Each structure stands twice: as structure tokens, then as C-alpha cells.
Structure 1
Amino acid sequence: MRVLLHYDMEFPGADGLDVVSCPQEDDERFAELLPEAEVIWHNLRPLTAADFDRAPKLRLVQKLGSGVNTIDLDAAEARGIAVANMPGRNAQAVAEATLLLMLAALRRVITFDARTREGRGWPAGGALVGGELKGRTVGLLGGGQIAGLVRGTLEAIGARVLYTSRTRRPDDPAWRELDDLLRASDVLSVHIPLTDDTHHLLDARRLALLPPGAIVVNTARGAIIDEAALVAALSSGRLGGAGLDVFEQEPVPPDNPLLALDNVVVMPHVAYLTRETWDRYFDTAVENCRRLAAGEELLHRVR
């Protein structure tokens, strides 16, 4: 079975699979490989109807991760191409990266890193004093596996954790309606999928509900937050900082105004990127290829 791994990563090999890799940014090579592909192991570069039309043998798009917003699901379904994802396979890595971004924003790591490299030594005065998670209220936008892992760690170090979710849980004392969650959150962390309903869910009005000096962390999808509104809130000092792994446009362009702010910590959508995550990805991807060949039900089929 010919598998197109749409990422510049070495695959350790598996019986019955002919896996060829292609960097996500190499569209020319990708187009050359599509005609023979029976399965695409998909990461982040969007897959369109035009891509599917170049792949007459394609039977399965296997998302390496959970979010399928980068796949034209209707076009895949119309062509008889199955789509599956991997919920939870990157949860540990993303949860740890979330904590990394929270702490980096609170402790002003970017500013201190720059000062240290410039030989500026210890800061004078209290302008650069950081903060601790212990004693702060952290609001989690989402109640899934990643949010659960983040919650457990935060509570272990003394933070108060609240959350909201699509399913109302009024009997849980930690659950809040979205606007009430925002009003209470010294740190807000995003853990929901991008859908039509969640696009720009955190707009100017909702960002204004956060307490002055609050920190916003996003390891989910960039367009859940209105970036223009976030830039305005950060630039004015209304918000204290942000830790962002995702952006509305990816790869993030160098002129994105968020990159010019020294109270913003950024990563290029790599919260999931650990060796352990890739081992789990490959295990699931190989199993679904086996199931596809055997005519068995796929794991975590989306369409």
C-alpha cells in the first residue's frame, strides 16, 4: 500500500506499507506523489478538492492529530475517500506545551532571554517582576483530554481551575458559562476545535471580560481568537501577555503584529511535536492502514 506521509519525518517502517515522505512546504513534490497515493498521512497543510482530483487511487486521509479543519471533508466524502483522526494521541505533549507557554508568559521569559543575550544583567526596579500560577485562577476553554491533563497539573501546584465546555455541567462547581469563566480567569487557555461556531469565539467583547493583566494561551487553533482584537488588548496593556502556538494564518507571516510584542511568547504550531507523539501517531496510522486493507472498520473515522 502506497502511503504519502505529508511531513518531513522518517518512518521506521511496517510490513505491507510503502511510505514516502514529503515536506509540507514542497507543493511540487506533493503534486508529483499524489497520483500513486492510496493513503495520505496528513499533518497541517490544507488538503483541497484539487488535491483529491490529482489522487485517483486515494482511499484514506489519516489525520496525524485530531483537528480536521484543514481537510475538505465534503470533497473527500464526494470522492469516496475516508477521513480518520487520532483524538488524544498528542494530548500529553500539548498539555505540557500549554504549561510551558503559561509559565513563559507569566515569568517574562522572552524579555529576560533578550536581556541576558544582550549582557544587560539584572533588571532594575519592579517593572519586570513575573508571576506564579499558584493562587491564580486558570480558566480552561474546553473539557476534553488535554484540558483534563492541564487541570490536574495546575491543581497540583496550587492553581484554582475552572472550565467551560459544550456540554453544560452545572452540577460541577468548577464549570462556568463562557462569559463567567472569562471574568474569573487570570489565565485563559484554549482547548476546543475550530468550527463555524468557534471561529473568533474570543472576540473583542469577550477578551474585554478578562481581568486586567490576564494571560491568554492558545494551543488549539488560531482563528478561535480574533487576532486583531488580541493585538489591541495586548498593545494597550489591558492584557498582560499571551502564549501562542497557533495563528489565524499559518505558517505565521513575519509581519504579523503579534510577533513584534515583547509580552507574547510564540511557537510555530509545534505543541504536539515530540518523539513520543510521533510514535503514537505511527502506531495508529499503521493500524488504520491494516484495517483499510482488510476491509475492517477504521479507528476514529470522521467521514
Structure 2
Amino acid sequence: MLHYITSQMSKNILLLETVADDAMHMLEKATDMNILTGYEETSLQSQIQNYKIDAIITRGKGQVREALIEQLPDLKVIARCGVGLDNIDVKYATEKGIKVVNAPNSNADTIAEHTITLLLMLQRNVYNAVAMVKENRWADRGTYIGDETHGKTLGVIGMGNIGKKVAKIAAVLGMNVVYWSSKKEDVPYNFVDLDTLLKTSDSISLHIPLTTKTAHLIDASAFSKMKPTALLINTARGGIIDQNELLIALQNNKIAGFAADVLAQEPPVKDDPLLQLDNALITAHLGSLTKTTYTKMCTMTVTNTLAILRNETADTNCIFNKTALAIV
């Protein structure tokens, strides 16, 4: 049960989304904190009007934009139980001296695993092979088409924490790894320009943040450079790909397949034509929702949020905008 403390010494933390049980227990045991919820617009507005909000904790859905920040003059921390911060106006928060907290590298292992899982399922056509048996179509095994990853080239776009782990697993599987990133990294893989990666890779995996520079990075021009046998994997952000051009590329066999845990619109509309394609494999943005990683992301974020509000030492690696004003 949430506790509501009226002491002037208590801080008010507003949850825009639920968090992992262990993290929620940490909040409930924090007797110097008042835990509020704003899961729906009506409850959000009620909390904003009735309480002085010191911190906001969200995951990936709750939006913390300038309009909301403007209504909260006492806000000291905006925390995301995750890595990406595209649902938070980091620039405006920084200008206001508000700390933006996230959980960097907390999901690298599980997203790398999910990426390779999607790649293998797509390359081996596993999802159709399983459906064949479930639908009592054993005899259709003669029509099965799949291939192995060994000896093929994987192009990694973005050689950060996740990109490095994906590349390492792919190399163990016998794949030749090339990469393009914002800068060269100290890794045993060939750095190539983006055009070369698009033209030479058998599979392409995206591991970059969604920014104004990366939005629709994979557009009609990019698809025109890919091999017709290429597979595209996206476990980063849906907006990196122009989804209309993706649909055209898949429908016209400009690329062979697409697998993703993210889409430009989430959830997709029921009749989204992308979901009807046999060469598209989509999971519901659940790559980080393993019990281990979800708990880690949430407890890490809550720990640092509480530390900042208490003027205690927080993990500076988890404070994204380190130039924000100190909490006083």
C-alpha cells in the first residue's frame, strides 16, 4: 500500500507508471517520501494540483515534456527506469537545473540476447517452422526455407554497450562483424562508413538512440542500398526507421526480412499492414522485461532518485545531465 506523509520534511515522488516490485517496496519503506501516482491524466492532474512534486519516476510510456515540467516548480529529479530518454525533455530539464536519472547499461545483456534471438528466428525462419507443426502441417517441411548465420556479415549500427555485446555474440556464431558508429571504438571489428555497411551486410542491427539526427536514418535511400537478401533487426527505437518505406521494401522484396522489438507507433494499430507480412517478426517492446533486467533498471533508478532527494551520494553514471544544477 502506498503511504502518504504530510510532514514538511517529506518529499513527494510522482510515479507516472508502475515499477518492479522490489523497487516499489524500496519506495514504500522510504518513510521520508510521499509516494503518489499519476498513471492516468485525471490522477496526474490531481497530484500536480494538490502536492509539491520533488521527483518524477517513469518508464518508457510516461511523457515528461516542457508543459508538465513547467507545472512543477519544485521538481528536482526526473527519473526513467530504463536507458533511452526520448520520452523526457532532457534539454529543458537541464536548463531548469533538474537532474535526469536513468539506468545506463542495465539492459545491455538482455537486449543483446533479444537481438540475436530475433536474428536467428528470422534467419532460420523459426517462427514459421513452429507454426507449421502447431497447425498440423508437418508435411510442409519440404517447403521450408531457412539459412544459417555462420559466415555471413552482420552490420552493427551503433557500437555502444549493446552493440558491443551483440557483435561479440555474433562473432562467436561465426559471423563477420562490421560497424558504423558516431566514432571508432576499441573493438576487433572493422569500422566502415554507413553506405558500405548497408551495401555489404547480410544482416543489419540498429543500436543507436533516437535523436533528430537519427530519426528516419533508415529511409528509402538506405533500403535501396541493401542486399535483396538482407535482414534488418531493430531493438533500439522504432523512429530510426521510416516505417512507410520499410513496408514498401518488404512488400517489394527490396530486403528479405525484418525483426523488431520496437515500432514507430506503439502499440501499432490493429490493421497495421506490417503485422500481416510473413517476412516481418515483431515483439511487443519487451526486450528489457525479463525479471532480472526489469528489477535492475527500476531498483537502480529508485536508489539514485532517493539519494539525490536526500542529498546523499548518487551514482554519477546514472545522472544523464551531469551539468544540471546541484540539488540544494
Q: 1:85-105: CA deviations, max 9, x gaps?
A: 221011111111101111111
Q: Distance in 2 between matches of 1:113 and 1:32?
A: 49
Aligned to 1:302: 320
Aligned to 1:120: 137
Structure of higher RCO (CA pairs closer than 8 Å, 6+ residues apart): 2
Aligned pairs for 1:92-107 (under 5 A) are: 92-107=109-124
Equivalences, count: 300
Q: State whether residues 179 and 189 of structure 2, in contact with CA within 8 Å, keep that contact through their aligned partners in structure 1.
A: no
Q: 1:187-228: CA deviations, max 9, x gaps?
A: 100000011111111111112211121100000011111111
Distance 1:95 1:34, change over 3 A: farther
Distance 1:32 1:93, change over 3 A: farther
TM-score scaled by length of structure 1: 0.89
Q: 1:58-83: CA deviations, max 9, x gaps?
A: 32111122211111224434544321
- Asked whether 1:262 is paired with 2:278, we answer yes
Aligned to 2:199: 183
Distance 1:132 1:83, change over 3 A: same
- Asked whether 1:276 is paired with 2:286, we answer no
- Asked whether 1:42 is paired with 2:58, we answer yes
Q: State whether residues 31 and 54 of structure 1, in contact with CA within 8 Å, keep that contact through their aligned partners in structure 2.
A: no
- Within the candidate set 5, 18, 26, 2:15 is matched to 5
- Within the candidate set 206, 219, 232, 2:235 is matched to 219
- Asked whether 1:251 is paired with 2:252, we answer no
Distance 1:147 1:57, change over 3 A: same
* Equivalent position SS for 2:190: coil
Identity of aligned residues (%): 31
Aligned to 2:216: 200
Q: State whether residues 79 and 102 of structure 2, in contact with CA within 8 Å, keep that contact through their aligned partners in structure 1.
A: yes
Aligned to 1:27: 41
Aligned to 2:98: 81
Q: 1:82-130: CA deviations, max 9, x gaps?
A: 212221011111111101111111122332343333322232544x311
Q: 1:203-258: CA deviations, max 9, x gaps?
A: 11112211121100000011111111111111112211111111112222223221
Greater Rg over alpha carbons, structure:
2
Aligned to 2:178: 162
2:121 partner amino acid: A
Q: Which runs of 5+ in 1 are unaligned?
A: none
Distance 1:122 1:292, change over 3 A: same
Q: State whether residues 232 and 257 of structure 2, in contact with CA within 8 Å, keep that contact through their aligned partners in structure 1.
A: yes
Distance 1:165 1:297, change over 3 A: farther
Q: State whether residues 157 and 204 of structure 2, in contact with CA within 8 Å, keep that contact through their aligned partners in structure 1.
A: yes
Q: Distance in 2 between matches of 1:153 and 1:44?
A: 27
Aligned to 1:139: 155
Q: 1:122-160: CA deviations, max 9, x gaps?
A: 32544x311111111111001111111111111112111
Q: Which runs of 5+ in 2 are unaligned?
A: 1-10, 322-328
Q: Distance in 2 between matches of 1:76 and 1:87?
A: 18
Q: 1:3-32: CA deviations, max 9, x gaps?
A: 333333443322424545665xx3333433
How much does 1:262 deviate? 1.2
More moved, 271-280 vs 51-60: 51-60
Q: Distance in 2 between matches of 1:172 and 1:120?
A: 44
